[in-house]
Amino acid sequence: MAPRIVTVNAGDSPDLTAVTRYVNDREFAGASARPADDLLVFTESTYSAPFTYHGGPVGGVATPIQLIFWGTWWETSEGIARRDLYIKRTRQLLDSTYFSQLDQYLIARPPVWRGDAMVVREPAPPGRVESYTDAGRAVLDMVDDLIDDEIIPDPDDGRIGIIVMMPKGFEVDDANGAHSWDYDIDFPFDSDAFWAGWCRWYPPGDEETAMQTVAHEIVEMLTDPELDGWRTSVDGDLSFEIADVATTAANDAYLSAWVNDVNVQAYWSNRHMAPVIPMGPGYEARIVGEVREKEPRLFRQGGTFRPSPGELAACSPQLPECCIEDRDYVWQEWSLTEEIHLDTVTGRYVSPSVQWFLDGHALPAVGVREVTVDYEYFPDGSYEPATTRGPVKIAFNALGNSLVIWAPDGGRNFDLPVTCTVSELAITGNVASALESSPRIVVGFVGAVVELEQDWVDQKTACLKAMLRRYLDDYVVVESRPWRDPQVKWQPGLEAVTLPAYARVTDYEAAREVTKAARAAHAILEPELATAFVEGLVAGVPALSAALQKRRRSASS
């Protein structure tokens, strides 16, 4: 069976359309939804004024970033694992959109990965230092030696941004990292500045937090590499750079989030007058579902029926397969209670938070909600469906990313649009929009089914196959044979009818076959007989019959 696509209005607004793909009678999935904006704009900060430019250089065009691991500890098994992680994360960071908002600070193109990271064994790194200035001095002296030894290119050949990762055993009390600059002097008059920052050693469990420091120092190295670029004054102190002010209102934590699987800090945006983190594309969420039987089905009613004159109308010497026995046949109606299991599937979200909605109202964890829908049911004593609009009860159990819903009263077939909002919890700080996406899906509830005697079904199936074969032989182009009657007249609009989601795939395929057989009947039979014959076919697919009733009711109102 081929899958089917269902599109219905999922809310009061015509813009809220839910598209659902039914893979089979039990499994279905909605379309992906994405956030309206992939830029996090934080609504809290310790700062509220624009940064100003002080005339110095900035890392303007695709500055290469070089990672240096200082000390032999990085060659131990523990150090190698940590080193590999930092290399991977730094490359992910540089491949992300994190730096895209730096264009407002004259950064024409974001930084790039320079190449292989290196381990520096000599000189040995310091152990404990008194302050970040002592750490910075040691880092600059080591980098200067690398330039003199031509291991790191001379700044004349193009400036690079160097980040030095400190080893286990390094301690400093007053900073997680810092960046600075110095001159490489070639006698007598050639002196060029180089830029270098460092990141302290973080204990196991804080490896991802270390990447916040790396991101922080790269951003500030690019915008204020020689301490006369983009900076600002806070309480008379002119040393503040664009990542320094991106802290929570309580000033006890840096604003942060995950970008391309890297934990990063926010930085100030003059454009938004707020701290920002460009998250980039790829955030998405969709709803997938599965139908399960909650309780065994129960017999509700039954009876017998005889073929209508229309259903016998195709009987002829040319179509002996349509000479259906004119006798009583048995029908039975069964009541079902189906349980619909819905789950959210997300992309790029690190810690998604899901709020489920039914009929536009947020759902608590457990409860029962009454909604008004169009539903199909089988009146007492009838195997042909009727349709109406009214309330139905929906029981639910919302478990985070999952939602289980069922109709405890049964006996009705109807469609139910379900929506949710997905937001990102892995954000430190308050934001204007937490990457919210709003996927939707259409759930088709089947609470009643009618089964007809199998001998009747077999005879009808044989008739339809024979009629379609004759139609193909006599009226449809085969190889070079021309179309014999292009003006076949038949019930208009049958192909365009919109089936409800509860028709799922089996009934959808049956309705398609009815459509084909209807065209064949109007080509082969007299108009009145064809119309009667098709009405009998439609009655055999309750979902199709209900959809036609609904359309006629709408047209007459």
Q: Where are the domains of the chain?
A: 39-278
- Residue 282 structure tokens: 């790829």
Report the distance separating Cα 349 and Cα 422, nearest Å: 9
Q: In residues, how long is the chain?
A: 557
In the numeric block, the tokens 């009657």 are attached to 485
- Is 135:198 a contact under the CB 8 Å cutoff? yes
- Please return the burial class of 269, using the count of CB atoms within 10 Å of its CB with bins 0-12, 13-18 and 19+: buried
Q: What is the CA radius of gyration of the chain?
A: 35
| Spatial separation of the C-alpha atoms in residues 231 and 28, rounded to whole Å | 54
Tell me the CA distances in angstroms from 290 to 25, 88, 354, 406, one per residue in order.
Answer: 9, 38, 18, 12
Residues 166-207: tens digit of each pLDDT: 999 999 988 999 999 997 655 454 447 899 999 999 999 999
Return the CATH fold of 39-278. Collagenase (Catalytic Domain) (3.40.390)
* Backbone phi and psi for residue 529, each to the nearest 5 degrees, phi listed first: -65, -40
Angle, in degrees to the nearest 10, between helices 527-539 and 542-556? 110
Q: What is the mean pLDDT of residues 142-161?
A: 86
Got the DSSP string for 460-491? HHHHHHHHHHHHHHHHS--TTPPPS-TT----
What pLDDT score was predicted for residue 8? 53
What b/e sequence results for 149-163 when a residue is b if at least 16 CB atoms lie within 10 Å of its CB, and e otherwise? Answer: eeebbebeeebbbbb
What's the token pair of residue 519?
Answer: 């065209």
**Residue-wise pLDDT tens digits, 53-77:** 999 999 988 999 999 999 999 999 9
pLDDT tens per residue, range 73-125: 999 999 999 999 999 999 999 999 999 999 999 998 999 999 889 999 999 99
Query: Looking at the predicted structure, is the pLDDT value of residue 478 above 80?
Result: no
CB atoms under 10 Å from CB of 349, counted, come to: 23
| Residue 464 token pair | 């339809």
Averaged pLDDT of the chain: 87
Residue 180's nearest CA partner among 145, 147, 229 is 229
pLDDT tier for residue 507 given thresholds of 50, 70 and 90: confident
User: What is the C-alpha separation between 67 and 339, in angstroms, rounded?
Assistant: 54
Kind plus residue range of the DSSP H or E element containing 29: strand 27-30
Indicate if the pLDDT at residue 147 is higher than 80.
yes
